[in-house]
Amino acid sequence: MAQSSCVGRLFQEIAKNNPDRDAIVTDELSVSYSQLSDLVTAFTVRFTDFGVKQGSIVAIVTDDPLVAISTVLATSLLGAQWVEANRVLAETKPVQPTHFFKSPEAKGSKRVNFVELDMTWSAAPETLVRAPEIATPGPANDEETWLIVRATGTTGTPRYVGFTQSNAIARAHSVRDDFVEGFTRVACLFSCTAFPFITRALAALLNGCTLVTSYDFRVWQKQKVNLVTGSPSQVADLLKGVTLYPKIAQIHVGGGNMSEEICRSLLANFDHVVDLYSSAERNRCFKNIRKLVASGEIMTFGKATDAIVEIVDKNGNPVTPPELGTVRVKNAYLAGGYLNDKDAEAEAFRDGWFYTGDIGTWGKNGELVIVGHGGEIASINGLNVNLVLMDAVISSMPGVTAAAVFKNPRPSASEELIAFVATEPDADKNTIISEARTLCLANFGRQATPARILPIDEIPVNLDGTPDRRTCIEIVKARQGAHI
């Protein structure tokens, strides 16, 4: 097995060449590359004591980033697979772990016999003495699954994808423009066993950078952090009422919608706000870069990475702005598909493309504008109607603040759609309803046009800001006595 195809060996080589460089900085301590390499070696030795070997599936529960990273790298060296142990894994059962481990502070499960990763797992001298005796073959081949991670897929349903070590290395090397060896010091705010953390940790360590796991901005300043990664609201809440001086060079956000208010608050503390379009399935593939100009206006510019991003119609033909379409992505780092879900895999991975399910268009400066997710499809009179696309069309009308389209829950009207429309306070609701019907007729045809378009004070939404159609249906059910 070539050295370059094993993440753990590649890390060890970087550690050998940069032993004293900071690898990971927490609130309490700084761990050098040499020290982290010793810790990984100790975990590798102890894993073998419990029978972990090539082909094993290791499930981990921990709140300690050092433990998370050490277990990831140790499984790489042994050719084992790594997965976060949680409720979703237990319910969906994409794989059957052979071993379960947890650190002392983490909650496990009474139904699973977890081995505790206590202090004896640290790099004690007697453990390191045994290291030469331990076989570290790495993956059996370049197609062997290593990381098993949760992805949302194209319907919001939890799915899992498997990554090879070669893919993980390629992804880490693809972000060298942001993870610059010996320079980048990145603070990562995602949970330490979540894929957004793991992939950024690998990007930092396989490029010779420093990972800072603190949530304290004062630690960021002391450690000269020049890149922060997290969700928009997470960072905005951490820095609420805080003014950093000097500003940090850039922040990469993902995992949530970003309002202009949040963006402006972030730009008070960062020179650039980079909204990454990324996921487990596709890697990062596009950047929307936001910055303040002299006028005080927020300008957004789109920048492609080494990926092809297209917005296409139902026939796969690229659309032109402001036309809406489905976003698809092609690059060298796509996941191989979904584990144990061939139907979802066939829908999302087609002809070398990953169909994200997002509905979007191109902005005036080449930015990628996502207006919703297209995974919500309703069958009406034999037609597959994209509810998110219809939401977007109605919401684009002057005077409309939001819209939500859903199937009529009345059994006798199961082939009908209903639309809730929220309007600006001074808007003429009757005119908007009439114009919305005309717009839907023109865009979707008579069969798909909602039979009822109803005004509502506020559209109920999910935690991610998308329309909560289940609640909309419950509202309609409650009104059925009024013969809706």
What are the pLDDT digits (tens) for 131-157? 999 999 999 999 999 999 998 655 556
For the segment 91-104, the average pLDDT, to the nearest whole number, is 93
Distances in Å between the alpha carbon of 162 and those of 43, 145, 195, 343? 22, 6, 11, 16
For the segment 264-279, the average pLDDT, to the nearest whole number, is 95
Domains of the chain: 3-253 (3.40.50.12780), 289-373 (2.30.38.10), 377-482 (3.30.300.30)
Smallest CA-to-CA distance from 146 within 112, 176, 170 is with 170
DSSP label at residue 484: -
Report whether 149 contacts 161 (CB < 8 A).
Answer: yes
Does the pLDDT of residue 396 top 60, yes or no? yes
pLDDT at position 2 is 44
Does the pLDDT of residue 43 top 60, yes or no? yes
Task: Determine the distance from the C-alpha atom of residue 410 to the mean position of all C-alpha atoms in its chain, rounded to a whole number.
Answer: 37
Query: Would you say the C-alpha torsion 322, 324, 325, 329 has a positive or negative sign?
Result: positive
Does the pLDDT of residue 190 top 90, yes or no? yes
For the segment 226-240, the average pLDDT, to the nearest whole number, is 92
- At which residue do the structure tokens 């433990």 appear? 67
User: At 3, is the pLDDT very low, low, confident or very high (cuts 50, 70, 90)?
Assistant: very low
Does the pLDDT of residue 77 top 70, yes or no? yes
Residue 442: partners with Cβ closer than 8 Å, 6 or more residues away: none
Q: For 192-210, b where at least 16 C-beta lie within 10 A, e where not — what string? A: bbebbbbbbbbbbbbbbbb
Does the pLDDT of residue 384 top 80, yes or no? no
Mean per-residue pLDDT of the chain:
91
For the segment 453-479, the average pLDDT, to the nearest whole number, is 86
- The percent of residues in the chain predicted with pLDDT above 90, rounded, is 74
pLDDT at position 362 is 94
Name the least confident of 108-112, 119-123, 292-296. 108-112
Does the pLDDT of residue 463 top 60, yes or no? no
Smallest CA-to-CA distance from 188 within 255, 122, 123, 241 is with 255
For the segment 109-120, the average pLDDT, to the nearest whole number, is 90
**Structure-token pair, residue 117:** 């990763």
Lay out the sheet containing 283-292: strands in order across.
30-32, 22-25, 210-212, 185-188, 227-230, 248-253, 270-279, 283-292, 298-304
pLDDT at position 115 is 96
